[in-house]
């Protein structure tokens, strides 16, 4: 008799109900039901019914009481757990639902509650991973959420779960596609603050997180080879264009090497990503948000995945935002969400 336990489900938080998150989730379940077997949406039932109607096709919504019911979901259904205060009466187009493409505190609160529900399930060990559909940062702020994005919110939830301070649960954002992986020293702060965040401690902590999170999975089957981008043009050109490389970044690299990290640099930011793309390095550590994300997104968001490193759970997300201009049209592409789901399934 086979007594093997069923694999834990992957939870997908619905994202902002006014954006394309619910729509691309519905499309993913409609188009690739085999890939999404064992996945469940933490969302709002009425919102997901509206999304299923928006994308067309016969996609019934299966309302679940909890994660234990995931294994019983019939094929070609959209399984949903009500994870936030109900937004509608259950009918498609219920007037209580947030309007597509509009920022609202109601939508921001619902998105945050669904993230918290899914993160709680993963942190308790009831779910294998959390995949987060896009949120709108203005809606988050309108709802009184003090965290500017998923990464910081999940960091706070993990710290609370572990009984630690947020500073004791360091995390980093990684954006990855089949050609390039980049990890950021700082995330959602102003450029001025991002420059101030380039400290030896922050760079070293980033390298430690990269090694801990990715060190066992280098693409070439050997040691993870890490490149570090400089902060200044030409990586400072020996101090001509700035001293941050010599005074801050090089000491962090030296310490990481002493700890066994195969790390190189700092390299000129305008060429290091090309070198990594051709296979010279497995991952690039970038000094700030746009420095690291523009190269990945330029290659196309279809296969891009946002991964949070350092959390005590697996969390991935599509490489795009809420696309309010597309919400409700049925034209949003679920490719990046599907890539995020694949990553989560393989990592968990």
Structure tokens at 207: 């390298």
pTM of the complete model beyond 0.95: no
pLDDT, average across residues 210-221: 70
Structure tokens at 153: 């919110």
Distance, in Å, from the CA atom of 260 to the CA atom of 223, rounded to the nearest integer, reads 10
Q: Is residue 241 pLDDT above 90, yes or no?
A: no
Coil, helix or strand for 113?
A: helix
Q: Is residue 198 pLDDT above 70, yes or no?
A: yes
Q: Is residue 2 pLDDT above 70, yes or no?
A: no
More confident residue, 131 or 56: 131
Share of the chain above pLDDT 70, in %: 95
Q: Which of 304, 4, 307 is nearest to 129 (CA)?
A: 307
Question: One fold for both 10-169+311-347 and 180-295?
Answer: yes
Per the CB < 8 A criterion, the answer to whether 232 and 244 are in contact is: yes
Q: Confidence class of residue 334 from pLDDT cuts 50, 70 and 90?
A: very high
Per-domain residue ranges of the chain: 10-169+311-347, 180-295
pLDDT, average across residues 259-283: 97
Largest CA distance in the chain: 71
Q: Is residue 222 pLDDT above 60, yes or no?
A: no
Q: Give me the pLDDT at residue 208, please.
A: 97
What is the fold of 180-295? Isopropylmalate Dehydrogenase (3.40.718)
pLDDT, average across residues 198-226: 84
Q: DSSP assignment of 126-191, as one string? A: SSSEEEE----HHHHHHTT---SSHHHHHHHHHHHHHT--GGGS--EEEEEETTEEEEES--SS-H
Angle between helices 335-347 and 21-31 (to 10 degrees): 70
More confident residue, 280 or 2: 280
Q: Give me the pLDDT at residue 106, please.
A: 95
pLDDT, average across residues 65-94: 85
More confident residue, 265 or 347: 265
- Sheet (strand 305-309) strand order: 61-64, 78-82, 39-43, 10-13, 129-132, 315-318, 305-309, 172-177, 180-184, 283-286, 225-229, 262-267
Distance, in Å, from the CA atom of 207 to the CA atom of 225, rounded to the nearest integer, reads 11
Q: Is residue 221 pLDDT above 80, yes or no?
A: no
Coil, helix or strand for 283?
A: strand
CB hemisphere CA count around 327 (13 angstroms): 24
Structure tokens at 118: 């899914």
H helix and E strand count, the chain? 12, 12
Q: Is residue 264 pLDDT above 90, yes or no?
A: yes
Q: Confidence class of residue 218 from pLDDT cuts 50, 70 and 90?
A: very low
Q: Residues 13-33: pLDDT tens digits?
A: 999 999 999 999 999 999 999
Q: Which listed CATH number (3.40.50.720, 3.40.718.10, 3.40.50.620, 3.90.1150.10) goes with 10-169+311-347?
A: 3.40.718.10
More confident residue, 4 or 78: 78
pLDDT, average across residues 113-129: 98
Per the CB < 8 A criterion, the answer to whether 111 and 141 are in contact is: no
Distances (CA, A) of 88 to 96, 168, 331: 5, 39, 24
Q: Give me the pLDDT at residue 16, please.
A: 98
Q: Confidence class of residue 239 from pLDDT cuts 50, 70 and 90?
A: confident
């Amino acid at each position: 008799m086979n007594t093997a336990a069923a694999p834990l489900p992957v939870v997908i938080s619905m994202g902002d109900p006014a954006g394309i998150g619910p729509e691309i989730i519905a499309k993913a379940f409609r188009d690739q039901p085999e890939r999404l077997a064992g996945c469940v949406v933490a969302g709002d039932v009425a919102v997901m019914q509206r999304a299923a109607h928006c994308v067309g096709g016969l996609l019934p919504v299966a309302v679940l009481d909890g994660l234990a019911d995931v294994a019983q979901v019939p094929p070609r259904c959209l399984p949903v757990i009500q994870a936030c205060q109900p937004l509608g009466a259950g009918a498609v187009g219920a007037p209580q639902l947030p309007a597509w493409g509009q920022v609202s505190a109601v939508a921001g609160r619902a998105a945050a509650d669904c993230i918290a529900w899914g993160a709680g399930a993963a942190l308790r060990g009831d779910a294998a991973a959390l995949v987060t559909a896009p949120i709108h940062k203005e809606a988050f702020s309108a709802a009184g959420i003090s965290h500017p994005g998923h990464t910081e919110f999940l960091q706070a939830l993990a710290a609370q779960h572990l009984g630690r301070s947020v500073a004791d649960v360091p995390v980093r954002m990684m954006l990855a596609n089949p050609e390039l992986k980049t990890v950021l020293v700082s995330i959602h702060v102003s450029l001025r603050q991002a420059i101030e965040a380039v400290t030896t401690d922050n760079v070293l902590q980033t390298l430690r997180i990269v090694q801990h999170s990715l060190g066992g999975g280098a693409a070439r089957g050997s040691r993870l080879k890490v490149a570090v981008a400089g902060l200044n043009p030409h990586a400072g050109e020996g101090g001509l264009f700035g001293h941050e490389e010599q005074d801050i970044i090089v000491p962090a690299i030296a310490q990481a090497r002493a700890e066994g990290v195969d790390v190189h640099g700092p390299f000129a930011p305008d060429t290091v990503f090309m070198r990594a793309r051709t296979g010279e390095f497995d991952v690039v550590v970038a000094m700030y948000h746009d420095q690291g994300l523009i190269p990945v997104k330029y290659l196309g968001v279809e296969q891009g995945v946002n991964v949070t490193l350092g959390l005590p759970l697996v969390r991935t997300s599509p490489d795009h935002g809420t696309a309010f201009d597309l919400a409700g049209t049925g034209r949003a592409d679920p490719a990046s969400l599907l890539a995020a789901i694949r990553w989560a399934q393989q990592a968990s």
